[in-house]
Amino acid sequence: STVMLVSLVVMPEYRGLGLGREIMRVYAEREKAKGRKRMVLTCVEKNIKMYEKFGYKLLGVSNSVYGGAVWYDMVLPL
């Protein structure tokens, strides 16, 4: 089965401390233990490199048109 992540937000004063990475790591471990096979998300272009550092692979431009932005689909096999 698949888990779809909707949003990850770290308050500006706490960014750069590795909190986002740790949240994503713990969440992925928890979902893998539940038998999930992959996690997917959509993000804007400026966040692609961050998610790649977390192990996500870029799939390409998403079909999402939310907020008029260009979104990108990413996947993390568990």
pLDDT digits (tens, 9 = 90+) for 7-19: 889 999 999 999 9
**Taking 90 as the threshold, does the pLDDT of residue 26 lie above it?**
yes
Q: Tell me how far apart the alpha carbons of residues 71 and 11 are, in angstroms, rounded to a whole number.
A: 22
Q: Which pLDDT does position 7 carry in this prediction? A: 85
26's tokens: 């713990």
**Each residue of 48-67: pLDDT tens digit?**
999 999 999 999 999 999 99
**Taking 90 as the threshold, does the pLDDT of residue 29 lie above it?**
yes
Look up the pTM and report it: 0.88
DSSP characters for 28-63?
Answer: HHHHHHTT--EEEEEE-GGGHHHHHHTT-EEEEE-S
Q: Which pLDDT does position 42 carry in this prediction? A: 96
